[in-house]
Protein backbone atom coordinates (compact mmCIF):
# COMPACT_ATOMS: atom_id res chain seq x y z
CA UNK A 1 0.00 0.00 0.00
CA UNK A 2 1.12 3.47 -0.72
CA UNK A 3 2.01 6.06 1.86
CA UNK A 4 -0.51 8.82 2.46
CA UNK A 5 0.63 12.38 2.74
CA UNK A 6 -0.39 13.61 6.17
CA UNK A 7 0.64 17.21 5.85
CA UNK A 8 -1.60 19.47 3.87
CA UNK A 9 -1.00 23.05 2.97
CA UNK A 10 -3.43 25.14 4.94
CA UNK A 11 -3.65 28.83 4.39
CA UNK A 12 -4.00 30.97 7.45
CA UNK A 13 -6.39 33.85 7.32
CA UNK A 14 -4.71 37.19 7.86
CA UNK A 15 -5.74 38.84 11.10
CA UNK A 16 -8.52 41.26 10.52
CA UNK A 17 -8.84 44.67 12.08
CA UNK A 18 -11.90 43.56 14.10
CA UNK A 19 -9.74 41.60 16.52
CA UNK A 20 -8.04 44.82 17.58
CA UNK A 21 -11.37 46.18 18.92
CA UNK A 22 -11.98 43.64 21.65
CA UNK A 23 -14.03 44.50 24.69
CA UNK A 24 -11.93 45.29 27.75
CA UNK A 25 -11.61 42.38 30.18
CA UNK A 26 -14.16 42.21 32.96
CA UNK A 27 -13.01 43.52 36.31
CA UNK A 28 -13.48 40.82 38.91
CA UNK A 29 -13.89 41.88 42.51
CA UNK A 30 -11.89 39.83 44.95
CA UNK A 31 -13.79 38.27 47.80
CA UNK A 32 -12.66 39.09 51.27
CA UNK A 33 -11.08 35.93 52.71
CA UNK A 34 -13.07 34.41 55.55
CA UNK A 35 -11.14 33.52 58.67
CA UNK A 36 -12.67 30.72 60.71
CA UNK A 37 -12.34 30.27 64.46
CA UNK A 38 -11.64 27.19 66.53
CA UNK A 39 -13.56 24.05 65.56
CA UNK A 40 -16.23 22.60 67.83
CA UNK A 41 -17.57 19.05 67.69
CA UNK A 42 -21.34 18.83 67.18
CA UNK A 43 -23.35 15.59 67.30
CA UNK A 44 -26.60 15.07 65.37
CA UNK A 45 -29.10 12.30 66.10
CA UNK A 46 -31.67 10.72 63.78
CA UNK A 47 -34.24 13.40 64.71
CA UNK A 48 -31.84 16.13 63.44
CA UNK A 49 -31.29 17.44 66.98
CA UNK A 50 -27.78 18.74 67.61
CA UNK A 51 -25.67 18.58 70.76
CA UNK A 52 -22.41 20.20 71.91
CA UNK A 53 -20.09 18.86 74.61
CA UNK A 54 -19.92 21.52 77.32
CA UNK A 55 -19.19 21.27 81.01
CA UNK A 56 -18.64 17.50 80.92
CA UNK A 57 -21.97 16.62 79.29
CA UNK A 58 -23.76 16.88 75.95
CA UNK A 59 -25.97 19.98 75.84
CA UNK A 60 -28.56 20.85 73.17
CA UNK A 61 -27.14 23.17 70.50
CA UNK A 62 -29.18 26.14 69.25
CA UNK A 63 -28.55 25.56 65.52
CA UNK A 64 -29.18 22.56 63.30
CA UNK A 65 -26.47 21.32 60.95
CA UNK A 66 -28.36 22.84 58.00
CA UNK A 67 -28.32 26.25 59.70
CA UNK A 68 -24.61 25.86 60.51
CA UNK A 69 -23.83 25.14 56.85
CA UNK A 70 -25.29 28.51 55.80
CA UNK A 71 -22.60 30.61 57.48
CA UNK A 72 -20.04 28.20 58.93
CA UNK A 73 -17.64 25.59 57.62
CA UNK A 74 -19.01 22.11 58.39
CA UNK A 75 -17.17 18.82 57.94
CA UNK A 76 -18.76 15.43 58.62
CA UNK A 77 -16.48 13.16 60.62
CA UNK A 78 -16.44 9.46 59.76
CA UNK A 79 -16.89 8.01 63.23
CA UNK A 80 -20.43 7.67 64.60
CA UNK A 81 -21.10 7.45 68.33
CA UNK A 82 -24.24 5.72 69.60
CA UNK A 83 -25.89 6.15 66.19
CA UNK A 84 -25.21 9.88 66.18
CA UNK A 85 -23.20 11.60 63.44
CA UNK A 86 -20.27 13.79 64.42
CA UNK A 87 -19.55 17.11 62.71
CA UNK A 88 -16.71 19.59 63.00
CA UNK A 89 -18.09 23.13 62.83
CA UNK A 90 -15.92 26.23 62.38
CA UNK A 91 -17.70 29.57 62.76
CA UNK A 92 -16.31 32.64 61.01
CA UNK A 93 -14.55 35.22 63.14
CA UNK A 94 -15.89 38.79 63.06
CA UNK A 95 -14.07 41.04 60.60
CA UNK A 96 -12.12 43.86 62.21
CA UNK A 97 -12.34 47.08 60.19
Domain boundaries, the chain: 30-89
Pair 37, 89: CB distance under 8 Å: no
Q: What is the pLDDT of residue 90?
A: 95
Closest C-alpha to 82, from 46, 31, 29, 34: 46
Tens of pLDDT along the chain (97 residues)? 667 767 667 777 666 555 566 778 888 888 888 899 999 999 999 999 999 988 899 899 999 999 999 999 999 999 898 899 999 999 999 876 6
Angstrom distance (rounded) from CA 20 to CA 90: 49
Q: What is the pLDDT of residue 13?
A: 67
Pair 84, 77: CB distance under 8 Å: no
- The dihedral of CA 74, 76, 81, 83: what is its sign? positive
Amino acid sequence: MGQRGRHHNKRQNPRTASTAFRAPPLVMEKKVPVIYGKAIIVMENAKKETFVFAGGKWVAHVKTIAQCREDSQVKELNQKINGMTRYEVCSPLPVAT
